[in-house]
């Protein structure tokens, strides 16, 4: 019976190590994706849209969305690009965003920036 308990304890320890590594990986991936979205939004905002007419900005976003979707598949819709831009507007400081990334998922950020976009 003690062999069974020892094997069970070993299994539980290894299981915990795996679960903790998976959690750290998920946080790391979420952080990188959110920072990517911020960089995309910042690039569009500062290099393309700032000071331009709204109609021109819509055209740029539409074309960029089509190109990104053709290259990378789903996930780069015009709406997604607008979320990226909003993220860069709501969180202009990359360091603050990076700090918050470990605590919030992209879904949380979309909720926050969506509310900010409605109220701001």
Position 54 scores a pLDDT of 66
**Residue 20 counted as domain residue:** no
**Residue 18 counted as domain residue:** no
**Residue 51 counted as domain residue:** yes
How far from 15 is each of 8, 28, 62, CA to CA, in Å? 10, 20, 46
Position 34 scores a pLDDT of 94
Position 108 scores a pLDDT of 87
Position 23 scores a pLDDT of 92
Question: Closest Cα partner for 76 from 108, 49, 118, 40?
Answer: 40
Phi first, then psi: what are they for 53, rounded to 5°? -65, 150
**Residue 97 counted as domain residue:** yes
Question: Which range marks the domain in which residue 96 is found?
Answer: 31-119
pTM of the entire predicted model: 0.79
Position 48 scores a pLDDT of 77
**Residue 13 counted as domain residue:** no
**Residue 75 counted as domain residue:** yes
What's the number of domains the chain is made of?
1
Q: Collect the ranges in the chain with pLDDT lower than 50.
A: 118-120
């Amino acid at each position: 019976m003690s062999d069974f308990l020892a094997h069970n304890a070993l299994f539980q320890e290894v299981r915990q190590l795996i679960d903790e590594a998976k959690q750290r990986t998920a946080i790391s991936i979420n952080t990188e994706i959110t920072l990517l979205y911020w960089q995309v939004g910042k690039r569009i905002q500062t290099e393309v849209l700032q000071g331009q007419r709204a109609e021109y900005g819509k055209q740029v976003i539409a074309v960029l969305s089509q190109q990104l979707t053709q290259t990378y598949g789903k996930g780069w819709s015009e709406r997604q690009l607008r979320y990226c831009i909003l993220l860069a507007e709501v969180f202009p400081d990359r360091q603050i965003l990076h700090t918050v990334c470990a605590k919030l998922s992209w879904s949380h950020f979309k909720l926050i920036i969506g509310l900010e976009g409605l109220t701001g």
